[in-house]
Amino acid sequence: MSSGNDCQPQTLTKPTFDERGAAELVDRVFGLKVSWISSLPSYDDQNFHVRVSAEGADEYVLKITNSEDSQEPDLIEAQTQAMMFLSAQGFPSATPYLTKDGHIMSLESGGTGLGSKKYMVRLLTYLPGTPVAKITTNAQILYEIGRLAASVDKVLSEKFQHPSVKSLHRGRFIWNLANVPLLDQYIYALGQNKYRAVVEQVIEQFKGKVIPKLSSFRACINHGDLNDHNILVDSCSASLETPQYRVSGILDFSDMSYGYYVFEVAIAIMYMMIESPDPLSVGGHVLAGFESILPLTAEERGALFLLVSGRFAQSLVIAAHTALLYPENKEYLTITAKTGWKHLMTMFEMGQEAVEKKWFETAQAYTHHAPAL
């Protein structure tokens, strides 16, 4: 979602290819003729949905990584190898189409902006499905997403081996949940309003109550961005009244880093709250799915409220900061903010004890009546 291995959320590094330039890139680097191309929304990379005239798969996503992250080929290699690994393990993850030279990525110049910046370019298989953001979520798919979050992190942490994996130790990466305290230096972007006070409260409580406990959490590799636009689903039932969904795609591995299992479930809960008509009920269903694979410890459960709040703070502050840099992309950048502020305020008005009670009682009910999967 965001660039850089340090604490810089985003500088002016976004690629500026137009559709014609992107099509020429596909031809020159991958040897494929584009028959149709359309720009896709993106935070700080550029993505294009392309159709090509070729045997086999004919739909791809051309991913042009921002110039800052493009300076870290080992990191992009690790992300891409993880996608290939997950696909081989049976997860619905994209895989790369090799360049004409037989590589999974290529460093290329171009774009319509000033200067000659270089961008890492990949062509990934296009995954069909509907983003979770476009459906009305129900308990069944929320539980499935919880299972997915646990399953992805578990298999990556237990079985994924590649020389580039060390690059996932990303230190001060701003989107890693351990780095919520780094938001201090970007909070100016919120201006002076009632929201800022809540974010400041989140940061201070996070410093005092979460940071000292990190060493007691179980470490793992996090996908780090299982949001409502990065999970695709297909309907697997004909019923309109009680639709059933299955996950058909996992997108955007650019926030992968070493973290903790509890981070992933907190991130999933936060983003599933965004689109839900009953946001405070979401956490229990996602948690139940997650704990069907990986039960949390008492310490991890005790941090969940502040971890979810911390992710809201990250999303809201970094989006506000980035929108100042890219005002033309403000609508996409502030998707979360439309309801995120309201949800964060509601969580703090209810208080940690009441919110946790709701989540944990919902999750507990699954132990008596597990859903049919």
Instruction: Write the Ramachandran bin of 47: left for phi over 0, alpha for psi from -120 to 50, otherwise beta.
Output: beta
**Where does the chain have alpha helices with state H?**
19-25, 73-88, 139-159, 194-209, 261-275, 279-291, 298-325, 330-333, 337-350, 352-368
Contact 304, 363 (CB under 8 A): no
Q: Could you count the other beta carbons within 10 Å of the beta carbon of residue 180?
A: 25
Q: Which structure tokens are listed for 11?
A: 């500088």
Return the bridge partners of 107, or none.
Answer: 120
C-alpha distances in angstroms, 304 versus 38, 90, 180, 206, 316? Answer: 39, 29, 14, 11, 18
Q: In DSSP terms, which residues pair with 12 in a beta bridge? A: none
Enter the tokens of residue 314. Answer: 């990250």
Residue 270 CA, chain-centre distance (Å), reads 11
Q: Pick the closest to residue 320 from 338, 302, 306 (CA basis).
A: 338
In what side-by-side order are the strands of the sheet with 130-131? Answer: 130-131, 231-235, 245-250
- How far is residue 268's CA from residue 283's CA, in Å, rounded to a whole number? 9
Of 44, 153, 225, 255, the catalytic one is 225
Rounded Cα gap, residues 225 and 267, in angstroms: 7
DSSP class of residue 145 equals H
Could you give the C-alpha distances from 125 to 44, 81, 97, 247, 283, in angstroms and in order?
A: 20, 14, 7, 16, 32
Does the active-site annotation cover 225? yes
Cα separation, 333 vs 326, whole angstroms: 9
Distance of alpha carbon 308 from the chain centroid: 14
Residues assigned a catalytic role: 225
